[in-house]
Structures are given as structure tokens and as C-alpha cells.
């Protein structure tokens, strides 16, 4: 069986370090591993509209931001199809048919949807489109017969729901048209949910606690130097805490032993640095300087590639157009198989028309 990757992002803002360690970096590794027959990365504008339907310009403007972020981290259009979800109208059709296979109570139990409903204060008036987006996400995944879906941990309930839809479809229509996907989550648990620079649970645009992939060096430095650390670590000599200390969480996600040799040779590795910090006698500024250098080393080539792509924006739209066309072809093929299995392919089915003729002419 072919190995196929599908994953995506909602274009509601520029991508940040949380996206990078949680998913983008891995995608590039997977892309370059040569292990996959096809790779589709989706800019999920239709999904983003489920809770931004009244602000379409926000989505429209962020499509190019996300595309630039993709290209700048090293996603390569020669190996990866980057596509815009809403243009692949086959996905909407699939969603309509899958909706028959999902109950309202099952959607209500989806933990991701539950959390998001709370977050958006939708409790009493949930838009149907938002409520049913897990079904649409199942279409995104199955339309490409994806075997592998690299995502953050928060998306696991979506993949589980997709697998249920696949099983239900294949048993109901007695076929093996749809493929059950596996989620691929970050190896390092820190990477699954990078906290914000303010130490809160998640890097999120609305909280203003993000370091963006497109931030310049000066901005990154300012953000790192003002990061939340340990409020009980007042004097350098005070013992400090590394748990819940965002600077150390980021170092966990990014710093390698080589980084220590290059930027902070007083310590061999992060464990040594943590030990000193915990004991007391190590100031926040030194840790933050290291962190800035580590992050900046990671972001510098990304920034440089972005600057190149920014020079020719029409070419970036062209990349999306090509990727979307290839995606449409794949989705149309699956839709045709789905309709065949559901026995709603009337005009493609010669035997149907003949059979009906015989019924009437006995
Ligand atoms: N729900 C995902 C997110 O919020 C984005 C997404 C849309 C997605 N369709 C997808 C992810 C299909 C994986 C597979 O990040």
C-alpha cells in the first residue's frame, strides 16, 4: 500500500515556534526521508471559516503567510503538494455523505471540539459548521487516502473520529475504499505543546505570547529576554525551579549538546545547566542569552528563505495552485470510488441503466 501523508493548518495567523517544534520540523524530515509516496499539506481555510465565518479577510490574508511559512521551513513543492482546502470542492461532498455516519452525541463527546467550544464561549449557540468540523477533517484525510497524519497531541481525537468514520463507511457499504490513518505525534512531549513566552499553557496568537517564524532577530531577542521564568528566583543566588519555567521548557525543545559547546561552554549539556539553576547561583539572563542564540540559529535560515520567496508572491500563489490541482485529482478519484460504493454513481454505471431497462421490459 502507498504511504501517504496529509496534514494541515488553519490559516488564522502566521505560524510560530509552537507549530515548528510540534509539527513543521517533522514534516520537513518526513518529506526528505523519501519514505512517502505522496505528501499533501493543506491550508485549511474552510475549517478556519467555521469559527471565523464573519471575518473572511483574516483567512484570505493569512493564506499567503502560512504558505510563506511552509516554504521557508523547507517544505519543497517538488516533493510536497501544498493546497488550499476550499478549492478542493470534492471535500465538501465527502463531508455531506460522511455526516450520515456520525451521531450528534459522538460529536459532542469529541474532546477537541468540547475544549474549543468552551474557549470560544459557544456553549449555548454552536454553529453547525463548527460543530461538525471533525467530519470535514475526516474528509480532508480520507480524500487523499492518507496513511499518516503528523499532528500535535490535541488532534488525536480528530484522527480517532476519522478512523471510526472509515470503519463505518467500509462496513456499511461493504467495501475497502477508505483507508484508516495513523496519527504521528511529536517524539518529544515538550514539543506537543510549547508554552507561550509568558509561561501560559499554549503559544497562541490571541494571548500575544508567540515567537513567530517570521520575527526578525531583534524581535526574537526582545521576546526571549522578557520571557517568564521562575517568580521565586529573585536573586541570582536563590535556588530556582526548572519545571513550569518557560525558558527551560524551550531549551528542552531546542537546545542540543552542540549548542552548549557553541554558545555556553560552561555547561556540557542542559542537565548540568538545570542542576546549577536549581541549586542557585545561575541567573536568568545567562539562560535567556543561550536560548536566544539557540532559537536564532534555528530561525536564521528560515528567515533567509522567507525573504527570497517574499520577492515573488505570484510565484507562491502559483505553487499553491499547482499543489491544489494535484490534490483535486486525488480527491476526485476517491470521491468517485465513494459514490460507487454508495451506489449513487448513476450515470457511470452502464449495468444500472441496463438492469432497469430489463426490469421494465421483463
Ligand atoms: N484541525 C487542524 C488544526 O487546527 C488543521 C487541520 C485541518 C488538519 N484539516 C486537517 C490537520 C487534516 C490534520 C489533518 O491544526
Ligand 1 centre and the CA of 352: distance in Å?
A: 38
| Contact (Cβ atoms closer than 8 angstroms) between residue 82 and residue 323 | yes
**Residue closest by Cα to atom 15 of ligand 1:** 9
pLDDT tens-digit readout, 219-248? 999 999 999 999 999 999 999 999 999 999
Average pLDDT (49-74) is 97
Residue 10 has pLDDT above 90, yes or no: yes
Strand blocks (E) in 138-269: 148-150, 182-184
State the closest ligand 1 atom to the C-alpha of 140, by its place in the atom list counted from 1: 12
Q: What is the dihedral of CA 172, 175, 177, 182, to 10 degrees?
A: 70
Grid coordinates 481555510 are at which residue? 45
CA gap 287, 281 in Å, rounded: 12
Give Cα separations from 164 to 70, 101, 169, 174, 212 (angstroms): 30, 9, 8, 15, 35
| Contact (Cβ atoms closer than 8 angstroms) between residue 79 and residue 28 | no
Residue 349 binned pLDDT confidence (cut-offs 50, 70, 90): confident
Residue 201 binned pLDDT confidence (cut-offs 50, 70, 90): confident
> Which residues, in sequence order, are CB contacts of 204 under 8 Å at separation 6+?
18, 196, 210
Ligand 1 centre and the CA of 159: distance in Å?
A: 10
Substitution candidate for ligand 1 out of 27, 44, 49, 193 with most atoms within 8 A of CB = 44
Residue 124 binned pLDDT confidence (cut-offs 50, 70, 90): confident
Written as nine digits, the cell of 216 is 526578525
Q: What percent of the chain has pLDDT over 90?
A: 85
Residue 187 binned pLDDT confidence (cut-offs 50, 70, 90): confident
**Residue closest by Cα to atom 12 of ligand 1:** 7
Written as nine digits, the cell of 238 is 536563590
Residue 322 has pLDDT above 90, yes or no: yes
DSSP 8-state symbol, 335: H
Q: Does pTM top 0.85 for this prediction?
A: yes
CA gap 273, 276 in Å, rounded: 5
Residue 334 has pLDDT above 80, yes or no: yes
| Contact (Cβ atoms closer than 8 angstroms) between residue 263 and residue 290 | yes
State the closest ligand 1 atom to the C-alpha of 152, by its place in the atom list counted from 1: 15
pLDDT tens-digit readout, 269-304? 999 999 999 999 999 999 999 999 999 999 999 999
| Pocket lined around ligand 1, Cβ cut-off 6 Å | 6-10, 42, 44, 47, 137, 140-141, 149, 151, 155
Q: Phi, psi at residue 37, to the nearest 5°?
A: -75, -35
| Contact (Cβ atoms closer than 8 angstroms) between residue 144 and residue 334 | yes
Ligand 1 centre and the CA of 149: distance in Å?
A: 9
Amino acid at each position: 500500500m502507498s504511504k501517504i501523508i496529509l496534514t494541515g493548518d488553519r490559516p488564522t495567523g502566521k505560524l510560530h515556534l509552537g507549530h515548528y517544534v510540534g509539527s513543521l520540523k517533522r514534516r520537513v524530515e518526513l518529506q526528505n526521508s523519501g519514505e512517502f509516496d505522496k505528501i499533501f499539506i493543506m491550508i485549511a481555510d474552510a475549517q478556519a471559516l467555521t469559527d471565523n465565518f464573519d471575518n473572511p479577510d483574516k483567512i484570505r490574508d493569512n493564506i499567503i503567510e502560512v504558505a510563506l511559512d511552509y516554504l521557508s521551513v523547507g517544505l519543497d513543492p517538488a516533493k510536497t503538494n501544498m493546497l488550499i482546502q476550499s478549492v478542493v470542492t470534492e471535500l465538501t461532498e465527502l463531508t455531506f455523505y460522511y455526516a450520515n455516519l456520525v451521531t450528534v452525541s459522538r460529536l459532542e463527546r469529541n474532546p477537541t471540539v468540547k475544549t474549543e467550544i468552551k474557549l470560544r464561549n459557544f456553549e449555548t449557540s454552536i454553529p453547525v459548521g463548527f460543530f461538525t468540523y471533525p467530519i470535514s477533517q475526516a474528509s480532508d484525510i480520507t480524500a487523499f487516502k492518507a496513511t499518516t497524519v503528523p499532528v500535535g497531541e490535541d488532534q488525536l481525537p480528530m484522527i480517532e473520529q476519522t478512523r471510526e468514520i472509515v470503519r463505518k463507511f467500509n462496513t456499511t457499504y461493504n467495501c475497502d475504499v477508505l483507508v484508516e490513518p495513523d496519527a504521528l505525534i511529536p517524539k518529544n512531549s515538550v514539543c506537543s505543546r510549547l508554552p507561550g513566552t509568558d509561561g501560559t499553557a499554549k503559544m497562541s496568537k490571541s494571548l500575544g505570547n508567540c515567537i513567530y517564524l517570521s520575527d526578525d532577530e531583534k524581535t526574537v531577542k526582545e521576546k526571549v529576554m522578557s520571557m517568564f521564568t521562575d517568580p521565586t528566583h529573585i536573586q541570582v543566588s536563590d535556588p530556582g525551579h526548572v519545571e513550569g519555567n518557560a525558558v527551560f521548557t524551550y531549551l528542552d525543545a531546542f537546545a542540543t549538546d552542540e549548542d552548549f559547546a557553541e554558545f555556553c561552554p560552561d555547561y556540557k549539556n542542559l542537565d548540568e545547566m538545570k542542576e546549577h539553576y536549581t541549586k542557585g547561583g545561575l541567573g536568568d539572563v545567562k539562560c535567556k542569552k543561550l536560548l536566544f542564540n539557540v532559537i536564532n540559529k534555528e530561525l536564521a535560515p528560515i528567515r533567509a528563505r522567507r525573504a527570497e520567496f517574499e520577492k515573488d508572491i505570484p510565484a507562491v500563489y502559483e505553487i499553491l495552485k499547482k499543489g491544489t490541482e494535484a490534490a483535486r485529482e486525488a480527491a476526485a478519484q476517491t470521491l468517485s470510488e465513494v459514490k460507487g460504493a454508495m451506489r449513487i454513481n448513476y450515470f457511470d454505471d452502464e449495468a444500472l441503466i441496463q438492469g432497469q431497462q430489463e426490469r421494465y421490459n421483463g
